[in-house]
Structure formats: C-alpha cells, structure tokens
C-alpha cells in the first residue's frame, strides 16, 4: 500500500475510491449471495474471473455475453479483483458499466456496458467469498518475470507470489466440483507441479479427498483494434489435469468462445498447453531478434533493410518476416521465454543449460533501442550540434502501432538512454495520455521492475508529459525520432515538420516510416537523416549534395 494514502485507490483519470473496510465484506457477501440466488434461478452458471487486468476484464465480459442455444444469457460472471491501491478502482468502474481499459476497440466499452447495465450478467467484487459460489473459476492474475539486469534475461526469476497466493485462496473457498481454468501465461509445469499440490493440500485440510479440477488454456489476446475478437474469435489450446477436468474445460470453452469457426486444440497434459504459449511467443521474439544483426549490417553497407524484407516477403514461405523497430515490447514477448528457462531449472530441477536462442533473442530485443540513441547522437553531430542538452522529440510511446499500450516499449529505452546522455526529451503520442513508466517511475509497473534502475540521471523523467499537439511538440526541436508506425506519422510532410520545428533537424527513422522521396526531401531541407536498418540514406544524401553543387 501507498503509505501516504493507504486507504484510497486512484483510477487513471484521477478519481479517488476508498478501499473497503472490514465491515464492507459482510455486506458484500450478502449482496453477492442475493445476486447468485437470483441468477441460479435463471439457470445460469456462475463464473468467477480472478484478476481484472488487461485480459481478465475483457474475458469476464466475453463470458458474460455468451448465450445458450435459445439466445439467452448462459453465464453470470463475477469479476474478482483484490482491493489493492493499484487496482481496486477497476471494481467500481466495472460496476458502473465502464471499462477499466482504454482501448482502440470500441467493442471493449460496449460489451462491458451491455453486460453490466442491460443483460445484468456481469458484476465485480473485491471479496474472495465470491469463489464460494463459483461453478467455474478463471485465473487471470499476472505472473511476471523480474529481470535483474538489462540485456541478460538469465539473471532473473519468475514472480510466482500472486499466482501461488491465488491458488491457495481459490482452494480454500471453492467447492470440489468447481472447474479452475488457469489462463495466465505460466512457467511450463505450473498447473500440475505448483497449482495442483497447493490446492490438493488445502483441500485435504478442508477434508476434501477429490482432486482439484484444474485446466490450462492460454490467452492470445492482442490489445488494439480487435481486442474483444482476439479473445472470443480465435483458436484456443487447452488441457486438463485429468479426464474430467479436460472434458469440463472443453465444454466451457465451447460455450463461451467461437470454437465452431476457430476449433479448439486439446492437448494431453497442461504442461503441453503451457509450453505451447511459451514456444509461440519465443518463436515470434526470435524471428524479430534475428533481424537485429542484419539491421546493423544494412546500416554499415548501404542497404535498405526495409526493401530487402519486402523483396523476401513476396515468397509465401517467408511472408511473416517483420522488421523489429526499436525494440520488442508488449507485456508478453519480453518475458515469456524467461518463464520457460526458469521452469526448466526451478520447477523441473535440471542443471544443464539447454537454452541458447530463446534468451539471446530476448536480450537482443531488450537492448535494441539503445542503438537509436547512437544514431541520434551521430545525426546531431553531423549537424554540428552536441547531443547533451539537445531538444529531442520522440514520436510514439506505445510498443506497437495504433495502440495505447506502453508496456516495455522500445521508446522507453530510447528516452532513458538519451536522458542519461544529457539530452532533453519530449514525447508525442496520439493514443497515450500518460506515460506511467515515467510519470510514476518509482512504482510502475512495480518498484522493482522500472527500467530506471539501469540508467543514471533519470529523476527528471517523472515530469515527462505526453504532448497531444504535434505542432507544439515540434517547436524548437533539434531532433525528431520516428519510433512507432502510428497512422498520423506515416503521412507527415517533411516541409511541414521542418517548418514547425523552426529549421533543419536530425530525423531518426526507427521503423521504415520514411520512403526515399521523404528522406531526400529532408536532406534538401538541410536536415540529417538516419534510420535503423537504413544504410541507403547515405546514398540519397550524397545524391542531394551532388545535385546542389551542379
Ligand atoms: N496483456 C496481454 O496482452 C496478454 C496477452 C496474452 C496473455 N497474457 C497473459 O495473461 C495474464 C494476465 O495478464 P494481464 O495483462 O491481464 O495482467 P494485469 O497485471 O493487467 O492483470 C492482473 C490482475 O490480477 C490482479 N490480481 C493479482 N492477484 C490477485 C488475487 N490474489 N486476487 C484477485 N486479483 C488478483 C491484479 O491486481 C491485476 O488487476 C498474464 O499471464 C499475461 O502474460 C496477457
């Protein structure tokens, strides 16, 4: 808890909510009981979703929106969130029918408001007592991976505390017939070797002899324009600890997910479902990391890697090749491979070091943004401007285009390194109001997780604010870093940029945003241009110079 304000939780818009007191729990229980009795009379299954974060809040709404064969609501969902100062506010917001997540997908707000206010199939609570009513519990709490150094994922560990605590709480409240579906991305082996024994022990204490009905099915949710569809209308993989758990999870997912169009894959054991998630994301992290060295090769040898990739992608066998931008962020890709490494040693007890590519890929992706600081330094130096005290504008704070999600974005690393080198940073992002990684850098995403730890001179960054007006942001800038392929940045006109900046600037393109025509124009306007993987800019620069002297 925040010692300066121990009894309140603040929403992202600053609304203050008082945390529940001891007396509130008995009132809450009576209210839940009444709701559940009413819903049971309507023959609805009671589903408790534990953890109302980016995944749980929307999954809860998708389940609450599910219909039976006659088009009637099939489930009543109680979203359960622990009353921490950081997250309690999500409960009153959901109970008003408001989404706790700001999303580019309009369906997120619609589905939550529909289920809370119209269908009345969704409510949220802070009380673990909700678990007593559950036919199904869905676990959507986080399982983070804490990195102890920058660029070395091996030096880290899975943070199992929230998850382990959840299993204990669940087992001490649920009935033995309750299906517990773990959706959290976990270290492979967690369902059978961590959740199962924890729950079994608690069951024993309660005099319950049966096995907990545990299953795993991971989320493939993609924050962005298709947020809801990426939960409801996408292929699922699942597995249970025994036959009954497997048939229960298959039945449940068929009732709530669009499995007719997107068939389920049922695997033999939960460790296979857990491994599928980790391999899926490590594969993606690896194909992105692989291009880092070719990006440097391109810069040093006059090659435009963007054109090279486009030439290769024509071949259907290689059409998922993607340019990595200034780093690979989002919540999942930077951590999931780490969970695999950690599991091999700490769950399964192996001492040998079989992992080479998975950790290397994460380390490369985690540090790729640092090179952008070098490009910026060099571009400014070519213009005779020292980096220290230069005004640098970064365009885009999100981890990918057209989303308002800053978690582990490459842009954060760029800002931190350039600040360390003495530059003054400003930021513009049309999708972000607050860049919490800076504004609350001492506690967000957690005090032990902030990348601030790895850089010096970061204190002033808590005052970094996201400018919404691009013209204002550009005024007086010495350098502009195009960091994210947000739509508005793709059409920026060099003449207007330079005019708004008030003169020639250094332009650093991190994501193949500039075509050759624009690069040429920037040079004609007296700017300096550099870009990740864009070795051909030097050629364009020389052409412009030659033309000018002719
Ligand atoms: N966010 C994504 O894009 C994404 C995509 C695919 C998979 N996943 C996986 O889904 C899982 C959840 O991710 P997320 O982004 O929703 O995390 P999150 O941190 O946004 O949400 C987790 C929530 O669980 C709550 N919580 C923790 N302990 C609790 C407890 N004991 N009781 C009740 N609530 C508790 C937290 O307060 C928080 O609100 C992770 O394993 C993640 O890897 C996430």
- Can you tell me which residue has the tokens 């967000």? 444
Which pLDDT belongs to residue 548?
86
Cα–Cα distance, 307 to 509 (Å, whole number): 14
Q: What is the pLDDT of residues 484-529, one digit of tens each?
A: 999 999 999 999 999 999 999 999 999 999 999 999 999 999 999 9
Instruction: Answer whether residue 3 shows pLDDT above 50.
Output: no
Closest atom of ligand 1 to 84 CA is 37
Residue 181 CA to ligand 1 centre (angstroms): 14
Of the listed ranges 338-352, 408-422, 444-458, 470-484, the least confidently predicted one is 444-458
Which pLDDT belongs to residue 5?
46
**What is the value of pTM for the model shown?**
0.94
Residue 222 CA to ligand 1 centre (angstroms): 14
| Cβ–Cβ < 8 Å for 370, 413 | yes
Closest atom of ligand 1 to 223 CA is 3
Closest atom of ligand 1 to 128 CA is 32
Instruction: Answer whether residue 90 shows pLDDT above 50.
Output: yes
Helix (H) or strand (E) holding 158: strand 156-159
Could you tell me the end-to-end alpha-carbon distance of the chain, in angstroms, rounded to an integer?
Answer: 69
Closest CA to 152 of 292, 416, 360: 360
Q: DSSP 3-state assignment of 63?
A: helix
Q: How confident is the model at residue 404 (pLDDT cuts 50, 70, 90)?
A: confident
Closest CA to 153 of 325, 347, 339: 339
Cα–Cα distance, 480 to 469 (Å, whole number): 15
Closest CA to 78 of 202, 173, 212, 184: 173
Per-residue pLDDT, averaged over 190-207, amounts to 98
Closest residue CA from atom 43 of ligand 1 = 185
Q: With pLDDT > 70 as the criterion, what percentage of the chain qualifies?
A: 99
Closest atom of ligand 1 to 165 CA is 31
Per-residue pLDDT, averaged over 387-408, amounts to 93
- Can you tell me which residue has the tokens 């039945």? 251
- Structure tokens that stand for 140 in this block: 């959507």
Closest residue CA from atom 10 of ligand 1 = 184
- Choosing from 1, 56, 186 the residue with most ligand 1 atoms within 8 A of its CB, the one to mutate for a pocket test is 56
Residue 137 CA to ligand 1 centre (angstroms): 14
Residue 204 CA to ligand 1 centre (angstroms): 28
Which pLDDT belongs to residue 14?
86
Per-residue pLDDT, averaged over 272-291, amounts to 97
Which pLDDT belongs to residue 546?
93
Closest atom of ligand 1 to 336 CA is 43
Closest residue CA from atom 27 of ligand 1 = 141
Residue 104 CA to ligand 1 centre (angstroms): 19
Closest CA to 128 of 161, 167, 176: 167
Residue 50 CA to ligand 1 centre (angstroms): 9
- 394 strand-pairing partners: 427, 481
Around ligand 1, the residues with Cβ closer than 6 Å are 50-56, 80-82, 84, 87, 140-143, 162, 165-166, 169, 184-185, 219, 221, 223, 331-332
Residue 499 CA to ligand 1 centre (angstroms): 45
- Choosing from 11, 48, 50, 53 the residue with most ligand 1 atoms within 8 A of its CB, the one to mutate for a pocket test is 53
Residue 5 CA to ligand 1 centre (angstroms): 24
Closest atom of ligand 1 to 332 CA is 43
Q: How confident is the model at residue 2 (pLDDT cuts 50, 70, 90)?
A: very low
Residue-averaged pLDDT of the chain: 95
Residue 384 CA to ligand 1 centre (angstroms): 48
- Structure tokens that stand for 486 in this block: 């947000």
- Choosing from 140, 166, 400, 403 the residue with most ligand 1 atoms within 8 A of its CB, the one to mutate for a pocket test is 140
Which pLDDT belongs to residue 445?
78
Q: How confident is the model at residue 446 (pLDDT cuts 50, 70, 90)?
A: confident
Which pLDDT belongs to residue 273?
98
Instruction: Answer whether residue 369 shows pLDDT above 60.
Output: yes
Closest residue CA from atom 37 of ligand 1 = 87
Residue 80 CA to ligand 1 centre (angstroms): 12
Residue 201 CA to ligand 1 centre (angstroms): 25
Which pLDDT belongs to residue 249?
98
Which pLDDT belongs to residue 6?
62
Q: DSSP 3-state assignment of 243?
A: helix
């Amino acid at each position: 808890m925040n010692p300066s304000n121990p009894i309140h939780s603040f929403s992202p818009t600053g609304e203050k909510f008082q945390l529940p007191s001891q007396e509130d729990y008995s009132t809450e229980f009576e209210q839940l009981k009444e709701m559940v009795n009413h819903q049971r009379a309507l023959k609805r299954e009671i589903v408790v979703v534990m953890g109302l974060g980016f995944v749980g809040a929307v999954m809860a709404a998708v389940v609450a929106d599910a219909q039976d064969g006659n088009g009637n609501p099939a489930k009543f969902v109680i979203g359960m969130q622990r009353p921490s100062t950081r997250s309690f506010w999500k409960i009153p917001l959901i109970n008003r029918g408001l989404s706790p997540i700001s999303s580019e997908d309009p369906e997120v707000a619609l589905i939550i408001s529909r289920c809370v206010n119209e269908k009345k199939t969704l409510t949220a609570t802070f009380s673990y007592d909700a678990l007593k009513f559950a036919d199904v519990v869905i676990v959507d709490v986080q399982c983070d991976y804490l990195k102890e150094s920058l660029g070395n994922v091996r030096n880290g560990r899975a943070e199992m505390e929230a998850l382990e605590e959840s299993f204990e709480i669940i087992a001490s409240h649920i009935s033995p017939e309750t299906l517990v579906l773990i959706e959290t991305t976990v270290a492979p082996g967690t369902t059978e070797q961590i959740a199962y024994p924890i729950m079994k022990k608690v069951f024993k204490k309660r005099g319950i002899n049966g096995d907990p009905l545990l299953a795993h099915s991971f989320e493939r949710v993609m924050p962005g324009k298709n947020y809801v569809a990426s939960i409801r209308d996408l292929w699922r993989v699942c597995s249970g600890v025994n036959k009954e758990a497997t048939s229960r999870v298959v039945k449940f997912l068929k009732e709530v997910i669009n499995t007719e169009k997107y068939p389920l894959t049922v695997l033999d054991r939960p460790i296979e479902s857990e491994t599928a998630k980790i391999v899926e994301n490590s594969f993606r992290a690896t194909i992105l990391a692989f291009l880092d060295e070719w990006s440097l090769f391109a810069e040093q040898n006059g090659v435009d890697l963007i054109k090279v990739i486009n030439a290769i992608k024509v071949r259907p066998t290689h059409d998922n090749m993607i340019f990595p931008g200034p780093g690979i962020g989002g919540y999942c890709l930077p951590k999931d491979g780490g969970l695999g490494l950690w599991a091999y040693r700490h769950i399964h007890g192996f001492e040998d070091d079989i992992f080479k590519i998975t950790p290397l890929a994460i380390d490369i992706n985690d540090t790729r943004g640092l090179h952008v600081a070098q490009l910026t330094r060099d571009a400014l130096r070519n213009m005779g401007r020292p980096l220290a005290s230069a005004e640098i504008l970064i365009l885009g704070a999100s981890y990918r285009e057209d989303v308002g999600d800053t978690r582990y974005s490459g842009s954060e690393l760029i800002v931190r390194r350039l600040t360390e080198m003495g530059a003054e940073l400003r930021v513009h992002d049309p999708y972000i109001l607050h860049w919490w990684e800076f504004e609350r850098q001492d506690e967000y995403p957690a005090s032990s997780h902030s990348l601030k730890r790895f850089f010096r001179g970061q204190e002033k960054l808590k005052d970094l604010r996201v400018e919404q007006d691009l013209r204002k942001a550009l005024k007086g800038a010495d350098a502009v870093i195009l960091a994210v392929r947000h739509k508005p940045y793709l059409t920026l006109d060099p003449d207007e940029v330079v005019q708004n900046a008030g003169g020639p600037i250094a332009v650093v393109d991190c994501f193949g945003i500039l075509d050759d025509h624009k690069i040429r124009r920037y040079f004609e306007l007296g700017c300096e241009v550099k870009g990740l993987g864009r070795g051909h800019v030097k050629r364009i620069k020389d052409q412009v110079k030659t033309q000018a002297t002719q």
